[in-house]
Structure 1
Amino acid sequence: MKHLLFAAGVLCATEAVAETPVLTVYTYDSFVSDWGPGPSVEKAFEEVCSCDLQFVGAGDGAALLARLKLEGARTKADVVLGLDTSLTAQAAETGLFAEHGQSPVVDVPNPFGEPGTWSDQHFLPYDWGFLAFVHDKTKLAEPPKSFEELAASETKIVIQDPRSSTPGLGLMLWVKALYGDKAGDMWGALADNIVTVTPGWSEAYGLFLEGEADMVLSYTTSPDYHRIAEEDDSKAAALFDRHYMQIEVAGKLAGTDQPELADRFLQFMLSDAFQGIIPTTNWMYPAVTPSTGMPEGFASPLGQEQAVLLPPEDVPGMRDQALAEWRAALSQ
């Protein structure tokens, strides 16, 4: 009888697990790291969804789109979280994403419309920030204040590959937006400053922390992590006149077999429960400011007049030329 009861219990448990819906979310590696937002987001969403939320790390942000293109309609992803507005036009053209059907009010500065509005029908924002070169104040007291000053200096930097990394792509577009037809010349001038180009942000920042370079391409908010989490005020962002603004987004796959659950996740993503996790785990500005406000010590964002952000539909046409200039300059 005990054996029969045990077998019945195992069967019931197995059926319960089988009936639990699974939502698969592709994202970038740092999001799912122990110190990233992933673990806290997973716990918070599973408390309200009666589901199994499974994050799948897929390299850096730009690598997500490459993986989706490779998998096509066969992808196991229900949601992709970690693209940004430099990739959304290209992502929408694949036909792999469904419209989200929401009209959220967000706190993301919007250079393309009225503040607080969001018009992209395929992708919703979850955080944003400004790219910047981060340095150690104890080792580099007077950082360059422009790309020209950087190129003229002996400052060594680590950057990310624009073909696999959204920060790397953002840097390439930042230079292109500022220098236009002269962007190739600027990359040629910067080539001697570049120690290495890494596939993603995590590798680049790790090399910087190990002392392999004077500065690393990251975000104006990166020093907040060291100051708040580590009580270390030695890191700072070198401020230029203008900085590329990155808006990170998520979207639902058209072929998902969990469309309602995917919609619930996107709605949850803009709630206090998710947005309150972002500042001190992803170290970016939340798309919707939590009701509790921002953490004490978190730096105020740069002004919109300092933002460089290209309309998403303009990026595909600019990207190929910018990438050719980048590759030519760095291969010499």
Structure 2
Amino acid sequence: MKYLAFATGMLAATTAIAETPVLTVYTYDSFVSNWGPGPSVEKAFEAQCGCDLKLVGAGDGAALLARLKLEGARSDADVVLGLDTNLVAAARETGLFSDHSVTAEYTLPIEWSDSQFVPFDWGYFAFVKAAELEAPTNFKDLADSDLKIVIQDPRSSTPGLGLLLWVKEAYGDEAKSVWEGLADNVVTVTKGWSEAYGLFLDGEADMVLSYTTSPAYHLIAEEDASKAAAAFDEGHYMQIEVAGKLAASDQQDLADQFLAFMVTDDFQAIIPTTNWMYPAVTPKEGLPKGFETLITPEKSLLVSPEKADMVRDAALAEWLDALSQ
């Protein structure tokens, strides 16, 4: 009888586990790291969904789309979180995403209306440096300097792609010559943001491609005011990060619930001090103390998803040609 009771209990426990729905979210590596938003997001969402939220790191942002294209409708992902507006058009062209019904009072710098992608944070790309370093105020002066920089590959990294479009939008037909000037400043090109920032912190470069918000991490988490973002007078390119659900997902309702959760205070309040970006919807308590010290670009640069998709290949060819010489 004891064995029967034990077996019955085990069967009930196994059945309960089997009945717990799993929502699989592909995202970028830094999101799922111990210091990223992932652990807090997982805890907060599971507290209300009665599900198992499975966050899967898939490289950097641009690598997400490459993996999704490879897997197609067979992908295990229900939601992809970590694409940005520079990749939205290419993602839409895959036909793998379905529409959402999320509405929110966004506090983005631009009006947002997209039937398939929901924004969750935003920021401006910038080169981060030591606060005392007297940095150039534009790309041409940077190219003329002896400063060493670390950047990310635009084929695998959304910051890398953002830099590509930043230079292209600021300089147009002159972009290739700007890259030719910058070639000897580039110490290395990394696959993703984490590797690049780590090299900068290890003293391998004077500046690293990151965000105007990155110094907030050092200031708030480490009580260290030794880092700053260099202000460029060409303007700074904006990034808006998004998530979308896959049409082939067998967890459509749960995916909808997660996308709606993303724009609530429970998610948005996590973003500033874990992803170190501006939230897409300002939390009720506002931004943390320290964000007011960050530089605010005098000029914002951003191209439409359609234009980004149209110019990306030509801009990439210019970049590859300039850096290979």
* Aligned: 1:253 with 2:251: no
Q: Note the alpha carbon deviations across 1:193-222, whole angstroms, 9 max, x for none.
A: 000000000000000000000000000000
Q: Please report the TM-score for the alignment, with normalisation by the length of structure 1.
A: 0.96
1:36 alignment partner in structure 2: 36
CA contact (8 A) 2:154 2:162 kept: yes
> Matches of 2:240 and 2:168 in 1, distance apart?
18
User: After superposition, where does 1:29-178 map in structure 2 within 5 Å?
Assistant: 29-110=29-110, 117-138=111-132, 141-178=133-170
Return the match for 1:328 from 318, 321, 324. Answer: 321
Residue 182 of structure 2: SS of its match in structure 1?
Answer: helix
Q: Note the alpha carbon deviations across 1:41-78, whole angstroms, 9 max, x for none.
A: 00000000000000000000000000000000100100
2:280 alignment partner in structure 1: 287
1:2 alignment partner in structure 2: 2
| Alpha-carbon offset, residue 300 of structure 1 | 6.3
Residue 291 of structure 2: SS of its match in structure 1?
Answer: coil
CA contact (8 A) 2:231 2:297 kept: no
* Aligned: 1:318 with 2:311: yes
Return the match for 1:272 from 265, 285, 292. Answer: 265
Residue 145 of structure 1: SS of its match in structure 2?
Answer: coil
* Aligned: 1:196 with 2:158: no
* Aligned: 1:218 with 2:203: no
1:205 alignment partner in structure 2: 197
CA contact (8 A) 1:109 1:304 kept: no
| Alpha-carbon offset, residue 303 of structure 1 | 5.5
| Alpha-carbon offset, residue 302 of structure 1 | 6.0
| Alpha-carbon offset, residue 105 of structure 1 | 2.1
> Matches of 1:82 and 1:122 in 2, distance apart?
14
1:113 alignment partner in structure 2: none
How many equivalent pairs are there?
Answer: 324
* CA 300–88 in structure 1, closer or farther in 2 if over 3 Å, else same: farther
> Matches of 2:293 and 2:48 in 1, distance apart?
32
| Alpha-carbon offset, residue 149 of structure 1 | 1.1
CA contact (8 A) 2:104 2:281 kept: no
> Matches of 2:19 and 2:42 in 1, distance apart?
19
Which amino acid in structure 2 is aligned with residue 65 of structure 1?
A: L
| Alpha-carbon offset, residue 101 of structure 1 | 2.4
> Matches of 2:226 and 2:296 in 1, distance apart?
24
The more displaced of 292-301 and 125-134 is 292-301
> Matches of 2:202 and 2:297 in 1, distance apart?
33
CA contact (8 A) 2:236 2:297 kept: no
> Matches of 2:21 and 2:237 in 1, distance apart?
39
| Alpha-carbon offset, residue 158 of structure 1 | 0.1
Q: Note the alpha carbon deviations across 1:18-57, whole angstroms, 9 max, x for none.
A: 0000000000000000000000000000000000000000
> Matches of 1:305 and 1:99 in 2, distance apart?
35
| Alpha-carbon offset, residue 106 of structure 1 | 0.3
CA contact (8 A) 2:155 2:161 kept: yes
| Alpha-carbon offset, residue 102 of structure 1 | 2.8
Q: CA RMSD in A?
A: 1.1
Q: Note the alpha carbon deviations across 1:247-270, whole angstroms, 9 max, x for none.
A: 000001011100000000000000
Q: Please report the TM-score for the alignment, with normalisation by the length of structure 2.
A: 0.98
* CA 126–95 in structure 1, closer or farther in 2 if over 3 Å, else same: same
Which 5+ residue runs of structure 1 have no aligned equivalent? 111-116
CA contact (8 A) 1:224 1:299 kept: no
Return the match for 2:229 from 207, 215, 237. Answer: 237
Which amino acid in structure 1 is aligned with residue 61 of structure 2?
A: G
Which amino acid in structure 1 is aligned with residue 119 of structure 2?
A: P
